[in-house]
Amino acid sequence: MTAALEIDGLTVGYGGAPVLRDVRLDVPHGRIVALVGANGAGKTTLLRTASGLVPAARGTVRLDGDDLAGVSVEDRSRRGLAHVPEGRGVVVELTVEENLRLGALWRSPAERRAAIADAYELFEPLARRRTSPGHQLSGGERQMLALARALVAAPGVLLLDEPSLGLAPRVVAQIMAVLRRLCDATGLTVLLAEQNVASALSVADHGVVLGLGEVVASRPAAELLHDTTLRHAYLGF
Partner 1 sequence: MDRLVFLLGTGLARGAVLALFALSLVLVWRAARVVNFAQGAMAVTATYVAFVVTGLTGSFVMGLVAALVAGAALGWAVERGLMRRIAGRSPLAGVIVAVGLVMILQSALGILVGGRTLPVEAPFDETPISVGGVPLLSPYDLFVLVAALVVMAGLGLLFTRTPLGLQMRAAAFAPEVSRILGVRVSRLLTLGWALSSAVAALAAVLLVPTELGLTPHATDMLFVLGFTVAVVGGLDSPVGALVGGVGVGVLISLVTGYLGASVAPLAVLVLLVVVLLVRPQGLLAVGEARRA
Of 94 and 173, CB closest to partner 1: 94
Give least dist CB 81 to partner 1, A.
9
Burial of 61 (0-12, 13-18, 19+ CB in 10 A): buried
∠ CA(209), CA(89), CA(210), 5° rounding?
A: 10
Q: How far is the CB of 19 from partner 1 (least distance, A)?
A: 18
Q: Which is nearer to partner 1, 135 or 232 (CB)?
A: 135
CB of 26 to partner 1, least distance (A): 22
Q: 126 near 174, Cβ under 8 Å? A: no
Smallest gap, in angstroms, from Cβ of residue 122 to partner 1?
A: 19
Residue whose CB is less far from partner 1, 18 or 125: 125
Residue 4 beta carbon to partner 1: minimum distance, rounded to whole angstroms: 18
Report the residue number, 30 or 85, with the smaller CB distance to partner 1. 85
Whether 21 and 214 have beta carbons less than 8 Å apart is answered as: yes
- With residue 192 as reference, give the H or E element that holds it: strand 189-194
Three-state DSSP class for 173? Answer: helix
Do 216 and 45 form a contact (C-beta atoms < 8 A)? no
Cβ closest to partner 1, residue 46 vs residue 230: 46
* Residues in contact with partner 1 by the rule CB under 8 A: 51, 53, 73-75, 77-78, 82-83, 85, 89-94, 98, 101-103, 105-106, 133-136, 149, 153
Bridge partners (DSSP) of residue 20 are 12
